[in-house]
Structure formats: C-alpha cells, structure tokens
Amino acid sequence: MPSPADRLSSVLRRYERPLLGYAFVRCGDHGLAQDAVQETLQRFLRHAPSGDLESLAPWLFTTCRHALTDLHRKANRHPLADPRADANAASEPLSTSPSPDEALEAKETAHFLLRCIAALPDIQQEIVRLKFETGLTYRDIAAATGLTIANTGWLLPQAVATLRADWQRLESAPPTISVSC
C-alpha cells in the first residue's frame, strides 16, 4: 500500500505537466492554471481515489476543470486586484531569438498559426493546443476531453491537415499580404 507521499510524487511525475497544460489551455492564465492544479492535487490528497496511475487520468482532468470553474467564480466575486494576475503580467518571456527580424517573423508565424487554430471547430482547437502547446499525449488528451483515444487519433490528424494546408498557403503567398484563414 503506497503511502500518500509516494502516491503524490508519482502523480506529480506523471501528471504535473499535462494538468498544467490542460488548465492553461482552458483558461489562458498561468497563475489561475497553477492555482487550479494546486487545488486539484489537494483534492486528490483529500479524497485519495484508488486505482492505478493511468486510470486516474479522467478523475484528475475532471477535477481540474471543476477547480477552474470554482476559481473563476471566486475571482469574479471580488473584482479587486488579484496579486497573481499582476505577477503573471510582469513575467513576460524574454525573447530568445537572436535578431529582431527573425523574432518578428517568428512572431508573425506563431500569430498566424494561432489565428488558423482559432478558426478550427472547438474540439479540434482544444486537441491541437493540448497536443502542440503543452505536449499532452493522445491518452491524456482523451482522458481530459472525454473522447476515446481512437477519436482523438482521428480528429487530430484532420486538424493538422487543415493547418498544414493553411501553412502552405502562407508559404506560397508573398509576405506582405496578410492571409486570413
């Protein structure tokens, strides 16, 4: 019978990144995502659901979703300063691109891709962001979104194919024209 501490560490190892990624994709705010995952893990410790590591995934992702809703409600109740929000606003990532031109081009590409992703249907959007932005596996994506792995394996390639078509349009089009997708 593993001790709570051991269970916690194994859950952390396996699920810290996926949960944080999922929470971030759903709410868009790092601070809020971290709080939600914190809350999820605390609930995990409190309720200690049984089962092996892999089968915990749906429970964890669902709890994470609920925690996000609760935090949203709490935040909206008192619309005064949120220290976390300010903290995140301050922590803009330093650009690692060497030259300004490349940085600009990189930003444009990312921006373009994000716009194309936003044009996808909702479920495909979520899957694409979970996969590529935060690196979740098919299995975790399936557990988080409630789809089956086969479904995920079906929808994601479709989304990728759409994005690839848009991308090829961008590559072939002259750079001064803004491509809308």
Q: CB–CB of 126/61 below 8 Å?
A: no
- Find the binder of another protein among 54, 70, 86, 102 (CB under 8 A): 86
* φ, ψ at 108 (rounded to 5°): -65, -40
- Distant-in-sequence contacts of 137-141, Cβ < 8 A, 24+ apart: 137/18, 139/54, 139/57, 140/18, 140/22, 140/57, 140/61
Q: How far is the CB of 131 from another protein (least distance, A)?
A: 7
Q: Is 16 near another protein (CB under 8 A)?
A: yes
Binding string, residues 17-56; x marks residues near another protein by CB under 8 A: x--xx--x-----x---xx-xx--xx--x-----------
Q: How far is the CB of 164 from another protein (least distance, A)?
A: 5
* C-alpha to C-alpha distances, 149 to 77, 95, 137, nearest whole angstrom: 38, 36, 10
Q: Is 79 near another protein (CB under 8 A)?
A: yes
Q: Hey, which residues between 117 and 156 contact another protein (CB under 8 A)?
A: 128-129, 131-135, 137-138, 147, 151, 153-156
Q: Is 104 near another protein (CB under 8 A)?
A: no
